[in-house]
Homo-oligomer: A and B are copies of this chain.
């Protein structure tokens, strides 16, 4: 059986995943070249500059890109997908000395991908997911991250306390609408972990016991901000005050 016959539409139990589209595929090749297993492109994209770049990068790492319209159409869930890169999923330990972002039960792959990209923009490369959580390696998450996932360390834990036990030196800052300190007043002690709850209800009140709880000051016109907005604002703020 050929490789092309074995590859199926993504399921989270697979040991591999894939990039959809030229941009995230280039990011895969640039940042995780040793995880690449196969590369497919569509005949429609043959003149696309990105495809030329993908071919050159594949050449450097000794992978032969294959023109295979059927495979691309099978895996892509929208038209105009020119490239698909199959790669082996990777798990990583986080850096003990760097700051972390911890997401407790995030449910939206779109939000998760957006957050990954924003992390990179604000110099943050260590992401923890507490399960159940949206799948970091789903092709939809990867696309939403614009391939940002390939520059991140991502580690998943079953419980927050398991994370906490593994990274005891991190100062915990849970972001909560009833947090004790307003974001602009927080003095962050490094290395720290910014902790956020899921889209529906945020963090439960027992997180008030960890470290210093933080609230983003908003008007009373809304109950809470969208998760990705809260994360983006917090990452921006901590980046600015540390730079």
Residue A59 is within 8 A (CB to CB) of chain B in the complex:
no
B236 touches A114 (CB 8 A): no
The residue from B217, B225, B236, B237 contacting A117, defined by CB atoms under 8 A apart: B225
Chain B residue contacts of A222, Cβ below 8 A:
117, 120-121, 146, 148
Contact of A232 among B121, B146, B184, B233 (CB under 8 A): B233
Say whether, besides A229-B114, A229-B229, A232-B229, A218 and B184 are in contact (CB < 8 Å): no
Check if A195 is an interface residue, CB within 8 A of chain B: no
In the complex, how many residues of chain A place their beta carbon closer than 8 angstroms to a beta carbon of chain B? 29
Contacts of A239 in B (CB 8 A): 217
Taking a contact as CB atoms under 8 Å apart, the answer to whether B117 and A218 are in contact is: no
Question: How far is the CB of A47 from the nearest CB of chain B, in Å?
Answer: 20
Do residues B122 and A226 form an inter-chain contact, with CB atoms below 8 A?
Answer: no
Given A114-B226, A232-B232, A233-B236, CB of A221 within 8 Å of CB of B184: no
A38 to chain B, nearest CB (A): 26
Bound form: Cα–Cα A117–B151 in Å: 31
A191 within 8 A of partner (CB): no
Task: Give the contacting residue for A219; candidates B110, B121, B237; CB below 8 A.
Answer: B121
28 contacts between A and B (CB under 8 A): A110-B110, A114-B226, A114-B228, A117-B222, A117-B225, A118-B226, A118-B229, A120-B219, A120-B221, A120-B222, A121-B218, A121-B225, A122-B218, A123-B219, A123-B221, A148-B221, A216-B236, A217-B239, A217-B240, A225-B232, A226-B228, A228-B228, A228-B229, A229-B229, A232-B233, A233-B236, A236-B236, A236-B237
6 additional contacts (CB under 8 A) given A118-B225, A122-B219: A121-B218, A121-B219, A216-B236, A217-B239, A226-B228, A232-B233
